[in-house]
């Protein structure tokens, strides 16, 4: 896994909330493999590749809003996880629910609230 590849798992809220979170991350990581689309899903996922697109973008200026609390788990290289966490905490009201580190990857869970 490269320094910028990131997997994001989202639960809680609806598809529109999942899309809002993914759109905020696009400002840092570029476009994901695909946007969440399944209206019946209770868990959504997105994977961001090796793009550095938009790294300097400001997520806080995105204006994205949530309709319900969303639990977000970000997994990837430590630098990618840090960047994703920083981006999300600037864009939303967030509570850090912990981090787990492996040999080359890190996982962090955040609770984003409206």
Report the share of the chain in percent with pLDDT over 70: 85
Q: How far apart are the C-alpha atoms of 87 and 7, rounded to whole Å?
A: 15
pLDDT at site 92: 96
Task: Give the CA distances from residue 105 to residues 13, 14, 77, 81, 84, in Å, rounded to whole numbers and listed in that order.
Answer: 27, 28, 5, 9, 14
pLDDT at site 68: 96
pLDDT at site 25: 95
| Closest to 97 (Cα-Cα) out of 72, 80, 75 | 72
pTM equals 0.85
pLDDT at site 9: 97
Q: How far apart are the C-alpha atoms of 106 and 91, rounded to whole Å?
A: 21
Beta bridge partners of 99: 108
Residues of the chain with pLDDT under 50: 1-2, 55-61
Paired tokens of 19 = 């899309």
Identify whether the C-beta of residue 91 lies closer than 8 Å to the C-beta of residue 24. yes
């Amino acid at each position: 896994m490269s320094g910028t590849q990131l997997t994001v798992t989202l639960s809680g809220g609806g598809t529109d909330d999942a899309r809002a979170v993914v759109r905020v991350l696009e400002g840092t990581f570029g476009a994901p493999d695909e946007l969440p689309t399944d209206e019946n899903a209770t868990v959504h996922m997105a994977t961001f590749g090796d793009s550095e697109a938009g790294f300097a973008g400001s997520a806080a200026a995105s204006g994205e809003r949530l309709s319900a609390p969303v639990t977000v788990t970000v997994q990837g290289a430590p630098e990618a996880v840090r960047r994703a966490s920083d981006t999300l905490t600037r864009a939303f009201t967030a509570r850090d629910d912990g981090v787990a580190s492996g040999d080359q990857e890190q996982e962090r869970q955040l609770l984003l609230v409206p």
